[in-house]
Structure 1
Amino acid sequence: ASYLVCPAWLPTNHILFQMANIFLFLSYMAPGGIHGLLYLRICLAIGSFFFALWGYVILCAFDTLVWNVFFTLINLVHVIVLMYILRPVRFSTDMEKVYREMFQPLKVSRQQFQSAVSCVKEIVELRPKENYTVETKTVADRLSLVLSGRLVVSQRKRALQVVDKHEFLDSPEWFGVCSNDRYQVTMTAVEMCRLLVWNRDKLKLTISGDPFLRAVFDNVVGKDVVKKLLFVTSCNGLANHEMDAASETTKLLIQMKEGKAGMDVLLNRHCKDRCDVNLWNLGVADPETTV
């Protein structure tokens, strides 16, 4: 009998003690990730709270009460911070469409995209034939995305390309262009347009702290640049008779017609119905389009 460590066991502890240990046990089964961390902190906060109650109601031990109240408060602070981080982020209608179509498929979280939204300078509305930039005059200090409408890009009154919805107007300037440089092209609205304009330097500085978001922007803008280069390269490789047969939906607009630059041909087109806001009448009703 002298070798027994516990000759007599104490009675089972109070239910508060049991509940505290149950939540402590549950905390060990927390999964990974930020949601798992939230689960862990909630379990620890509840467990510490039950330990504090046990120390106050059953043991009447001041030190047990103080320590566990302190642990409960620490975990509650962590819970509040995590819930703030995980709060639902809502965007405007335009930004929601941009996020869902361009960034959500690339696994960009709403919290990450929120940092990019904070760098939006303005949303610009353009009327048909209104210039957004003028070559050698407008400062290239922005990143612009077409929300709706179409714009034609031209150089020396020579139309180069049409930019559609959810395409960047100035993607080439994203790479290696200083904010005091000037645009080398003129961008003119074909129809009623709405543009999302970022402050380029502020955006680059903001996303520089998030390597993943920076890589996503470089990828999205880079793909836009490649697409523009492919259009121009394909256009330069077409024969003259093929150029004349190209429709506007190809976005290859540098052909010449009757000695006039493609830009002049486009800007001289008028809609048949004066009530139509779209002066160039692009789309399904246009007999020159293939769509």
Structure 2
Amino acid sequence: ASCYSPVASTYPICGEWRDSLESSVFHLANIFLFLGFMGGSGIYGLLYLFTFLTLGFFCCTLWAWSEPCTTDSLLWSFALFSVCLGQVLHVAYRLRSVSFEKDFQELYHCLFQKLGVSLTHFGKIVTCCDGEIHTIEQNHCLAIEGKTAIDKLTVLLSGRVSVTVNGEFLHYIYPFQFLDSPEWDSLRPSEEGVFQVTLRADNPCRYVAWRRKKLYLLFAKHRYIAKIFALVVRNDIAEKLYSLNDKALNGSGHRYDLRLPSYCHIPGTELEKANVLLQVPSSSLTMYTFIVDTYCDCLLLGMSHCCGFTQQRSQIFQSVSSSQVHIDKVIF
């Protein structure tokens, strides 16, 4: 006989389809697997994925145990169940280990969670500042104009800070706002500078600060974190600039709309009668408004350095004060 002669198959041949369905455990296993593979990204997505895969392969193990002649299916299902269970425990441990103090949790919810920053990335941000919360007493200065170096980025956690330049009040800084976002954005990584404003605590304050050099090292390792900080810092600056529209008042308490410099909230005849306003060229305020609006647009597009509009808040204030427009008080 030839060695290539066909060998009779030892496996039973399926003559017809089974009339009965598989057990409910088999169908439940496939449902769990289907739901598991719909999991998303991130640490919570991993927890969702491996939880349902664990349940699915556990049901597969039960089904294989109850069926005869399914040793291979039983072993594979049990092995996959064990691997997925181990992943669930690992992800749960990672999730539990990423925990922060109350102040950092509030900072995460107010600034970073709405941008989709994961707890893992936020943990790297907290580690960069060594997890330290700084405090300062009332009437103490966080920065003095012309003296304090710009060597960190700071976010206020509680209290209120007033900003002044040459003794003139500019604006307040409230919790979860940056104390030095204009100064930070005005310098490139290789440049150095000093504050042009004074930051004074109106009451006991608590804040978190990242050292400039250490933060740039973090940006070099994680470009995603660098983009997040660029977004939140420039958004903070844009909000300060746009608030000019609500804080530009004349002596009578009328509000000027800086976005529409040709229109004021007082009758035109009164403008013509005011001698001091006869000297006002509308192009001065128009140009300033154009700079502010263009700068805010560039901030939102992430192009502040490219457009050359990186000015510190004291320079912006002085631009308004030195203009020929009669505005008695400008606060932003």
Superposed pair shares fold, TM > 0.5: yes
Residue from 192, 199, 206 that aligns with 1:194 = 206
Q: Which residue of 2 aligns with 1:7?
A: 15
Kept in 1, the 8 Å contact 2:26–2:60? The answer is yes
Q: Which residue of 2 aligns with 1:236?
A: 319
Residue from 183, 192, 205 that aligns with 1:181 = 192
Q: Which amino acid aligns with 1:41?
A: F
**Structure 2: 5+ residue stretches without partners:** 1-12, 242-310
Aligned residues: 240
Query: How much does 1:187 deviate?
Result: 3.3
Matches within 5 A, 1:108-257: 108-121=117-130, 122-134=132-144, 138-147=148-157, 148-154=159-165, 159=168, 161-165=170-174, 166-175=176-185, 176-178=187-189, 181-185=192-196, 187-192=198-203, 193-206=205-218, 211-226=223-238, 227=240, 229=311, 232-233=315-316, 235-238=318-321, 245-246=328-329, 250-251=331-332
Q: Which residue of 1 aligns with 2:109?
A: 100
Q: Structure 2 vs 1, CA of residues 158 and 36 (structure 1 numbering), >3 Å: closer, same or farther?
A: closer
Q: Which amino acid aligns with 1:99?
A: Y
Residue from 67, 80, 103 that aligns with 1:71 = 80
Does residue 27 in structure 1 map to residue 33 in structure 2?
Answer: yes
Q: Structure 2 vs 1, CA of residues 151 and 120 (structure 1 numbering), >3 Å: closer, same or farther?
A: farther
Q: Which residue of 1 aligns with 2:279?
A: none
Distance 1:54 1:99 in 2: 45
Q: Which amino acid aligns with 2:26?
A: A
Kept in 2, the 8 Å contact 1:116–1:207? The answer is no
TM-score of the pair, normalised by structure 1: 0.61
Q: Which has the higher contact order (CA 8 A, sep 6+)?
A: 1
Q: Which amino acid aligns with 1:149?
A: R
| Matched residue SS, 2:155 | strand
Q: Which amino acid aligns with 2:211?
A: N
TM-score of the pair, normalised by structure 2: 0.55
Distance 1:191 1:128 in 2: 5
Q: Sequence identity of aligned pairs in percent?
A: 27
Query: How much does 1:142 deviate?
Result: 1.4
Distance 1:152 1:140 in 2: 15
